[in-house]
Amino acid sequence: MLDWTDRHCRYFHRILAPSALLYTEMVTTGALIHGDSGRHLAYSGEEHPLALQLGGSDPADLAACARMAEAAGYDEVNLNVGCPSDRVQRGRFGACLMLEPGLVRDCVAAMREAVQVPVTVKTRLGVDDHDSYEFFSDFVGEVSRSGCSLFIVHARKAWLSGLSPKENREIPELHYDRALRLKNEFPQLTVVLNGGIRTAQEAMHHLERFDGVMLGRAAYQTPWVLAELQRLLEPGADKRTREHAVHAMTEYLGRQVRDGVPVRHISRHMLGLFEGLPGAIRWGGYISETAHLDRLNSRLLQDALEHMRSGSAPVHGDDIEWAAGK
């Protein structure tokens, strides 16, 4: 997600979900070819398996960027044709490309020819008034002629004008039935469902019918859902706690601070770690109010944890919970 899932966020998510496939925020071909490619491609080895998500519409440029991604060690390259923001429309990439299925087919074909790692596509159900199931299935059918066999489907259409990116994630109606129909009518394809999945239980329900699920906002706003889903998928796995995540991220924060990274660049991704628990407001408030005061305070997360504890009484269990205090 743009401006959200940077390398610090992904490192945090990897701690919570050791088995998840993580995706970068969308990076444009122009940024990689003409900008600081080293910065855009940088990641920690712990993030694997990791996919680079690209935005662009020129087959040659996308092929070149796919080669850069493969050389950098990414495990997958994903072409985003689902993002509805004004920025991507001006650059002729994202959801507006659903109106040009032949071009998307050529882009994916060029990328697949350039690399050995999987090339996948993230899409919506349609755009503006082009929102019938037939439009959607024709688009996927045409793009699949490139050889692409995995589609991540955000089960909403995109409004290219009149709605903000945030509104485009909430206002267009969800149509899981259309994604499921696609799965049934194209059994040779791998279909991953995205959009509106808020809890681990909802994810497990969808996994009964789809090949995979992708979590976006829920993973960012309530990140512990990743750990809950990990436990459901692998019951015998190590049951890490929120406190473990804080300690692990404190070690990471210390290393990053020594390299000059401001703490707020990392701590902002952890505001929702205790969402839904008593003490969550104290946790998030402390981080929000103090991260900017000392940009190199490597103890920020530990201090926030102690601040949360100071206003609450611990409850015994396999996780940190607090009986009182907001």
Residues 97, 71: one domain? Answer: yes
Q: Where are the beta strands (DSSP E) in 170-220?
A: 190-194, 212-214
> Which CATH number do you get for residue 292?
1.20.120
Are 170 and 69 in the same domain? yes
Spot the catalytic one: 9, 83, 96, 148.
83
Note down the domain range covering 124: 7-232
Please count the structural domains in the chain: 2
Question: Residue 9: beta bridge partners?
Answer: none
* pLDDT of the residue at 208: 98
**Inter-CA distances, 51 with 289, 300, 324, Å:** 33, 30, 41
Query: Do 254 and 177 share a domain, yes or no?
Result: no
Answer whether residue 324 is part of any domain.
no
Q: Is 15 left (phi over 0), alpha (psi -120 to 50) or beta?
A: alpha
The domain that contains 203 carries what CATH number? Answer: 3.20.20.70
Q: Are residues 216 and 169 in the same domain?
A: yes
Whether residues 157 and 178 fall in one domain? yes
- Residue 45 pLDDT: 96
The mean pLDDT values, 10 residues at a time, for the chain of 326 residues are 83 97 96 96 97 97 98 98 74 88 98 98 95 97 98 93 72 93 98 97 98 96 96 85 96 96 96 95 94 91 94 46 34
Question: Do 215 and 66 belong to one domain?
Answer: yes
- Tokens 């804080």: give the residue: 246
Picking from 192, 208, 232, the residue at the C-terminal end of a domain is: 232
Q: Output the CA angle 3-269-71, nearest 5 degrees.
A: 55
What is residue 128's three-state secondary structure? coil
Residues 80 and 146: their CA atoms lie apart, in Å, by: 15
Residue 223 lies inside a defined structural domain of this protein: yes
Within-domain flag for 162: yes
Reading the block at residue 245, the tokens are: 């995540």
Helix (H, G, I), strand (E, B) or coil at 193: strand
Render the burial of 175-211: b for 16+ CB within 10 Å, e for the rest. Answer: bbebbbebbeebeebbbbbbbbbeebebbeebbeebe
Q: Which of 48, 46, 19, 11 is CA-nearest to residue 230? A: 19
Report how far apart, in Å, the C-alpha atoms of 44 and of each of 8, 22, 68, 259, 297 are: 9, 12, 16, 14, 21
User: Is residue 135 within 8 Å of 101, Cβ to Cβ?
Assistant: no
Note the pLDDT of residue 172.
83
* Contact between residue 195 and residue 215 where contact means Cβ atoms under 8 Å apart: no
Burial class (CB in 10 A: 0-12, 13-18, 19+), 99: middle
The verdict on whether 83 is a catalytic residue reads yes
For residue 61, which of 25, 111, 101, 23 has the smallest C-alpha distance?
111
Q: What is the pLDDT of residue 175?
A: 97
Q: Which two tokens stand for residue 176?
A: 């899981």
Q: Tokens in use for 127?
A: 């755009």
